[in-house]
Amino acid sequence: MKPVRSVDRAISILFLVAQSDAPLGLSEISRSIGLDKATALRLLSTLDNAKLVQQDPITRRYIPGSNISKLYSTWRSDIRNLAKPYMEILLRKTGETVCLVCPRGLERVTIEVMPSAHELAVVPTIGSAVPIYTGATGRVFMAYLQEVECARIIKQTNLHPLTSSAVSDPKLYMKELEQARQMGYAQMAGEVTIHSSAIAAPVFNSGGEIIAAISLRGPETRLTTQRGAELAPAVVQTAQSISEELGYGQSKTAAVG
């Protein structure tokens, strides 16, 4: 059955506002979802009427409404708490910064960080956001999105590079997504921060949808391609353990049993 476009857009806005670490303005919301301001404002008004979002009368920015608690909107806090023990194990194994990242519209946002103890380390700020397509984590998100959604993001963003090291050729980019699917993880260097490297693996919910990623970040001089290949299995295992905690694969097991 074909989804109702307006409902689909409203849901996207609701997720965007509910998952944001800070109040969002109309321009931010319309840009992130890919809507014109008039359409975004109309949908926000509908959500506001249902008290699923609310607008600050002074700043005019939007936050979750009082009725949001009636929905299953606490998943972000839940996944953070659930992931922490596994992230701690990965940090002890690798010595590199461990991050939990979630998609948010056309961006991806870091919601938890366990920093490396090394003097030279790469430690993103909790709440920091970058384009959803860029870097190792971006490859993981894009690799496991539906093909239509992936194509839409590429067309809308033109894979605008953040650094001179970033890949912006769609054909090469699609090959890298296929490689990420085959390997179960992605490793990139210098696409988000020059001279930094990252390894990322997908986290799935019980429905098999990618909802987060675990990434390992460090300086390129230490987190080399060779060392990345050595550490990748631990990153993948961490992401798989969190996915299993979220119920991923359980329905298949039950069906076989």
Residue spans of the domains in the chain: they are 5-70, 75-250
Rounded to two decimals, the pTM is 0.70
- CATH code for residues 5-70: 1.10.10.10
Interval 226-240: pLDDT, tens: 999 999 999 999 999
Nearest to 252 by CA among 219, 208, 203: 208
Q: How far is CA 209 from the centre of its chain?
A: 12
**CA of 156: how far to CAs of 33, 136, 149, in Å?**
10, 20, 10
Whether pLDDT at 3 is above 70: no
Is there a common fold for 5-70 and 75-250? Answer: no
Of 64, 211, 189, 59, the residue nearest 132 (C-alpha): 211
CA Rg value for the chain: 19
Mean pLDDT of 84-105: 95
**132 close to 107: Cβ distance less than 8 angstroms:** yes
CA nearest neighbour of 39 among 12, 64, 15, 9: 9
Domain 75-250 has CATH 3.90.1150.10: no
Examine the pLDDT at 47 and tell me if it is beyond 50: yes
The pLDDT-based confidence of 196 (bands split at 50, 70, 90) is very high
